[in-house]
A and B are shown apart, each in its own frame.
Chain A
Amino acid sequence: MQPILQIRNLTKRYGKNKTAVDGLSLEVDAGDIYGFIGQNGAGKTTTLRSLTGIIDFDEGEILIDGHSVKAEPVLCKSLIAYIPDNPDLYEYLTGIQYLNFIGDLFGVEKETRAERIRKYADMFRIAGDLGALIGSYSHGMKQKVAIIGALLHAPRLMVLDEPFVGLDPEAAFKLKEVFREMCEGGAAIFFSTHVLDVAEKLCNKIAIIKQGRLIASGPIEEVRGDESLESVFMEVLESDAR
């Protein structure tokens, strides 16, 4: 079966001297919850922004469900949902106005949209606040609205940058449930995180990136072997220090 996400030899440079991502290749299959871990500045966010078509990249190819991000950007984006680490939502809109905006752009039918908003707003306990301006929300509430917006069109691939930052424990638990539910339905999740515990417990596959290069990737059992993910990760970092 064709992977939902294929990254082939992705290279992204900033200027002449800084290579943020260097020849990175990986594949995410339907049903995968794929964790992407690395230090600050390792190239995680650059990779995520490249695959969502937000930034241009220098070399390589990215395919979403077999479609090239460069050749068919709008089609690819309609299959993805992206949540940045600090969702900079439109503060002058109410929560429901924002969700309708997203629904309009993804072409989500009115009835389906209403049903999904109700379902996820209740799930994340934010239904009563959707009429308020986003500017009045806490960081966690903004994160929840961004998540609901991302789920509105039932994406094939959900791309998240540090999704659990700012979420209360209940919302974090619910989000993990949603991830599992989506993957059972044939979608895939690709997210970056610094929380190794989360990656270890939630993901079936992980990739470790260091200084733009992929150090390890694959099923989590293979990557960590008999050790904990934390130990493996620390070994990767120390190998750099030596």
Chain B
Amino acid sequence: MRAKWPTLFKVQWMGLTGLNKARRSGDAREKRRAAGGIAAVVLVAAVFVFYAAMLAIAFCRQGLGSLLPALTVALSSVIIFAFTLLRGSSMLFAVQDYDIVMSLPVSRRDIVTARLLCSYLLNLLFVLVIAVPVMIVYFAMEGFSFGVLGTIALAVAAAPLLPLAAAVAVGTAVSALTARLRYKNLLQTLLGVAVFVAVMIASFSFSFSAESGAGADMNALYRMLVGKIYPPALLVGMTLAEGAVWGVFAFAGISLAAAAVLVWVVAAFYTKISTALLSRAAGAAYRAKDVRASSAFGALVRREFKRLFSSPGVLLNGATGALLLLLAAVALLFVDLNALFEIPPEETGAVKDVVAYMGAGILITLAGMSSPAASALSLEGRARGILFSLPVSARQILLAKAVPTAVIDAAAGLAFAAVLCAKIGAGAPGWAVLLATALLFPLLVGLGGSFLNLKFPKYDWTVETQAVKNSIPVFIAVFGAMVLGIGVLILAFFVGPWAAVAVDVLSVALSAAIAAYFGRVRLYSD
């Protein structure tokens, strides 16, 4: 009998990319949205290509070119693992088309394979954006051979499999263990956060231990780093450095085996876990209490906060950056920044302020990673008509959707700013710039996220994470902020506070313009 996963995969991929909808829709707006989305993706990919190529050139010039393939595989694998963890098991379970798919004559293995394949391809595209420019630089500066090309092609193709399988396995285990518990959403979120934090801490501690253990030999240092953060990548390095051909095949074999085992195990428990996750028996008996009344806007804001905390996928993706800011703030309490940056005690505040301006770049990058506003409208999904029919203005709805983002990012940003400035001993300019950025940039992330979601809504998601992780507004918010943040970080050396100040001014101007624009918006379900 013909395998049915390709048919399932094709339909799910069409939904994920949204291209079929744009192509088949007679609505010009839909086509414009798709074109805008593609342009944004290409632009961000171009920035990544540029960064990756520059880094690769720098590595080759330092004589570290031979490490590039293994390092690319290792770093992209860790990123894939961390970001897949944020999705938890939502790509497999609690999917809206569960009833349709499960009533069709397809095996559970086909269903799991099709869903994982979608995720694999997305991650492969990410790896390619990093790997292709790196490899072009590598071949240009280190010399080309078909053997190396074949090795790298196989390594890149296999690279997403193992981290994807490992992260999905963790997510599935968490789902399975908590599925029958009353507070499963909260528990899944907490466990997801705990695993994510553990991965981040482990990565940082590995890099520090590698740095301290390798002395001045950069080659040894990076080889140790690759080995610490992602040992299987050393197999790729063995093939390239020592000519051990079996290395890359072993890497591909391990990756493929991990994915196959995952499919086999998850398929065996798929119905049981899904049933438990989707079961919603009536909760505890309601006891009448005094009803709480608030303004319409207050009610909308409260609802947005509840939505943010409603599911692990939404919260994990929506609050990652804020969480990392808080973690950074806590970590800074235990780090001697003056020693780290080799700032002599007698140094003036002006030099220390540069660290604060760099901190603004980090804050901007991480705050951009937490933009639940960029998917809040999309999350209304097919039930959006209910919200749009309420007697509140579109401005109230869109502003309410921006509030949780602005609040959580500002709170985490202020904590980070205060700890950084206090620890470094920043002067008044450093404090002023970093605190202003912590307050003003989250405002732009919130309102800008809401604006982007208005322009690129994705209501036809079948899994929440399609809206909160893989949608165009989230993509623009996260990577746009990343580009801006890295720019501020680098420019802090050259222009001092002015790059961060420019972002602050831009935040105020754009936020005001967006808030004014919301007054002219009308929300319709079509």
Contacts and interface: CB of A to CB of B under 8 A. Distances in A.
Interface residues of A, number: 40
A77 B105 contact: yes
A97 interface: yes
B99 interface: yes
A133 B18 CA distance: 12
B115 interface: no
Interface in B250-309: 271-272, 274-275, 278-282
A56 B100 contact: no
B211 interface: no
Interface stretch (B7-15, B229-237, B391-399): B7-15
A124 interface: no
Given A15-B180, A135-B21, A92 B100 contact: no
B7 A55 contact: no
Interface in A60-78: 73-75, 77-78
Given A20-B281, A55-B278, A90-B15, A133 B24 contact: yes
A93 interface: yes
Interface size class of chain B, counting residues whose CB lies under 8 Å from the partner chain: 35 or more
B205 interface: no
A33 B102 CA distance: 24
B14 A82 contact: no
Given A14-B281, A101-B11, A90 B462 contact: yes
B272 A56 contact: yes
B140 interface: no
B98 to A, nearest CB: 7
Interface string A6-41: 000000001101101000000000000000000001
A94 B7 contact: no
A235 interface: no
Interface in A150-175: none
Nearest to A82: B103
B331 to A, nearest CB: 40
B25 interface: yes
Interface string A99-110: 001101111000
Nearest to A78: B105
A93 B280 CA distance: 29
B97 interface: yes
B20 interface: yes
Most central of A91, A97, A102, A136 by chain B CB within 10 Å = A91
B98 A54 contact: yes
B104 interface: yes
Nearest to B21: A92
B4 interface: yes
Given A18-B282, A20-B281, A106 B99 contact: no
Contacts of B99: 49, 54, 82, 84, 88
A21 B2 CA distance: 36
Given A49-B99, A90-B462, A92-B18, A104 B281 contact: no
Best-surrounded residue of B8, B97, B99, B459 (most CB of chain A within 10 A): B99
Contact of B96 (A77, A88, A92, A107): A88
A101 B98 CA distance: 15
B380 interface: no
B229 to A, nearest CB: 38
A53 interface: yes
A195 B430 CA distance: 71
Contact of A104 (B7, B14, B108, B462): B7
B107 interface: yes
A52 interface: yes
Interface centre among A17, A89, A92, A93 (most CB of B within 10 A): A92
A227 to B, nearest CB: 32
Contact of B103 (A52, A107, A135): A52
For the complex of A and B, list the 10 residue pairs with the smallest distance between their C-beta atoms, beginning with the closest. Answer: A14-B281, A78-B105, A82-B103, A18-B281, A91-B460, A92-B21, A77-B105, A55-B275, A54-B102, A56-B275
Interface of A: 14-15, 17-18, 20, 41, 49, 52-56, 73-75, 77-78, 80, 82, 84, 87-94, 97, 101-102, 104-107, 131-133, 135-136
21 contacts: A14-B281, A15-B281, A53-B271, A55-B279, A56-B272, A56-B275, A73-B107, A77-B103, A78-B105, A84-B99, A90-B11, A90-B100, A91-B382, A92-B460, A97-B20, A101-B7, A104-B4, A131-B24, A132-B26, A135-B459, A136-B526
Given A55-B279, A74-B106, 6 more contacts: A18-B281, A74-B105, A82-B103, A88-B99, A90-B14, A93-B11
